[in-house]
Amino acid sequence: MQSFADAKEFFQYSAGKWRSRRVTHHLPFRRAESGGSDIKVENLEKDDERIIEICGMHEMDAANSVGGSYVTWAGSMQWDKADENHDGSTVFALIPDPENPRQGKLLRERGYAEIVPVAGEYHLDEENGLVLTTEYDTMTIYERFWFANENLRLRTSTVKRFGGFNTTTFCMEERVQTEEEANQEAIASNEAQPYAFSGW
């Protein structure tokens, strides 16, 4: 099991391209909807202008940030209408608790559920999963991310709306290797194979 000292290490491990497949359960309707998306995660250092801007937006000292990520996604869901899409991007900054680097605040310039600046609370649990709670004006979202292995990340989320409309989602996110990475992996795998004598 991969171990992380803090959330920065968790997101650094998440850098790269991912292909996500998901199933969302709309609990009041007792129906499930499938979908998918392509995700790209880029690491940002604490002195990146985008990190400094996000901290200022939330009136927090950028010196307390350890950096963050720039995330883009393009997806679709089974029940989408003709003019509907699930494309977007966001920048987030991590502000760890000074007493415990495994927990803190995650600042975003826009949320996934509502396009407004939002701050969530995160912590790494005993199994090195990252748990994120985000409060919006009309809903609360609970998410947990964890790695099954280096190239497979899993995520569950629950959306609780004040009107009682709840949804739950399970995502399986597979890392998309570049051609160079795939070639390097193939070379390493071949080098690890024992030499077999084929005869004269």
> Would you say 158 and 176 are in contact if contact means Cβ atoms under 8 Å apart?
no
| CA angle (141, 173, 87) in 5-degree steps | 65
pTM of the model: 0.81
pLDDT at 148: 96
| β-sheet bridge partners, residue 82 | none
Q: Is the pLDDT of residue 159 over 70?
A: yes
The chain-wide mean pLDDT, for the chain, equals 85
Give the C-alpha separation, 81 to 62, whole Å: 41
Q: How far is CA 120 from CA 45, 92, 185, in A?
A: 19, 10, 37
Domains of the chain with CATH codes: 7-189 (2.40.128.20)
Q: Is the dihedral of CA 170, 4, 61, 43 positive or negative?
A: negative
pLDDT at 189: 59
pLDDT at 199: 38
Query: What would the pLDDT profile of 119-151 be if each residue is shown by its tens digit?
Result: 999 999 999 999 999 998 888 999 999 999 999
Which amino acid type is present at position 154? L
* Nearest to 70, CA basis, from 7, 15, 114, 30: 15
Contacts for 94 with CB less than 8 Å, ≥ 6 apart: 7, 8, 11, 65, 66, 67, 68, 104, 105, 106, 107, 122
Give the C-alpha separation, 12 to 2, whole Å: 13
The rounded percent of the chain whose pLDDT value lies above 70 is 80
Give the C-alpha separation, 6 to 12, whole Å: 10
Contacts for 144 with CB less than 8 Å, ≥ 6 apart: 125, 129, 130, 131, 132, 155, 156, 157
102 membership: H or E segment, kind and range: strand 100-108
